[in-house]
Amino acid sequence: MGFLKEFKEFAVKGNVVDLAIGVIIGGAFGSIVKSFIDDVITPLLLAPALKAADMQNIQDLKVGAVKYGSFLSAVISFLVIAFVLFLVVKGINRMKKEEPAPPPAGPTPTEQLLAEIRDALKK
């Protein structure tokens, strides 16, 4: 019975749940980026190169038997995902920056006690 209790505690820990949510959102984000690359970037930026090669899809690019178009599409997707994640982390780090606490206005109780001891020793 102890094994099941340990597993339950592990499974419902915040880190595991956060990781699961991150994986699910990452999968959804990956499909959005793939659509962005295939439906927006490729037609707008790569259309002239694809027309010159007499192709309509970046995945069709190949030299001999080597299809490098799929690899090129994956590299572009990776760069877009990496850039967006960089911006997200940069924004989170900017929000996390805490202002340093202002110094206390008066002497602390310890400093006040030390000052009283000093004054008593002077007398």
DSSP string of the chain?
-HHHHHHHHHHTSHHHHHHHHHHHHHHHHHHHHHHHIIIIIHHHHSHHHHHHTT-SSGGG--BTTB--HHHHHHHHHHHHHHHHHHHHHHHHHHHHPPPPPPPPSS--HHHHHHHHHHHHHH-
Question: According to the model, what pLDDT value does residue 107 have?
Answer: 79
Does residue 117 surpass a pLDDT of 90? yes
Q: What are the sequence ranges of the domains in the chain?
A: 2-122
Across the range 92-100, mean pLDDT stands at: 77
pTM beyond 0.75: the answer is no
pLDDT at 21: 82
The pLDDT value recorded for residue 1 is 64
14 pLDDT band, cuts 50/70/90, is low
Query: What pLDDT shows up at residue 118?
Result: 92
Class of domain 2-122: mainly alpha
Q: What is the pLDDT of residue 109?
A: 84
Q: For the residues 81-98, what does the mean pLDDT come to?
A: 82
pLDDT at res. 62: 74
